[in-house]
Amino acid sequence: MKGNGLLMRNRLLPLFVWIFGFLLLWEAVSWLLLNVMETPLAQSKLPYVHEVMATLWQYKGTLLKEGGATFGSAGVGFLLGAAAGIVLAVLMSISKIVEKLTFPYAIASQMIPILGLAPIIYGIVRDDQISRIIISGYITFFPVSLNMLRGLRSVDLSALELMHSYAAKPWAVYWKLRLPAALPGLFSGLKIAAPLAVTGAILVELMGAQHGIGVIMLRNLYYGPSHTYMFWSTVIVGALLGIVSYWLMSLVERAVAPWQPEFRPKGGSR
């Protein structure tokens, strides 16, 4: 128990030092721009961090409500995209024909810029919530399928031969060997995709949605310097949503695949 407390302190202390140092540097540069360099619209370029924090607190109800709308839609899209990516990865690992037929299209789909695709989807669907779900799922699909496929094929050949020597059924090979081996790769893809799904949802909201953190962000950007602190508050909330999504995936990974080296108390050794 004492060891765990020391471990947590050793991990959290550098994080708090970095955060405090970053905020201090931010405040100092903002003061320099405003009072020493007398930069025009200095607070629009880099506002005082304490003013942004005060705005965050003052409008916490609105920001939580709109941030929740963004996070909810991004979460649904993320789950749908992850499920589709996992299914496709399993099918590609089973059949070379499926891989040859689908993988080139999956790669080609990633060549389309999200910035161009989002208004197209929004123009077709004309529903901001469905559009957010589609774009979030679209962004999630590829990194999950690619990392899952790599994990499924990373199985130790000697273990695979052992399963075959016992005449194990194909489903047993997948359930007991390939899927556990694919979990680290799967969660790598999920941790990459989760913040991207939030970014995709915000991008759709900038196209003219009714609700979401991107709507407030765009509205306050139009209002100009008088709404600088609110605009920066929405940017921070958007960043926090991405961090929270990554953190949630890390928690799930720790619960589902706790045998990985980074989760062991002594690192790589068991």
pLDDT-derived band at 164 (thresholds 50, 70, 90) equals: confident
Euclidean distance between CA atoms 231 and 222, whole angstroms: 10
- Check pLDDT > 80 for residue 5: no
pLDDT-derived band at 213 (thresholds 50, 70, 90) equals: very high
Euclidean distance between CA atoms 196 and 165, whole angstroms: 43
Please give the residue that has the higher pLDDT: either 214 or 44.
214
Report pTM: 0.86
- Check pLDDT > 70 for residue 265: no
Structure tokens at 93: 């690992």
**For residues 10 and 4, is the Cβ–Cβ distance under 8 A?**
no
Percent of the chain with pLDDT over 90: 51
Q: What is the pLDDT of residues 141-160, one digit of tens each?
A: 999 999 999 999 888 888 88
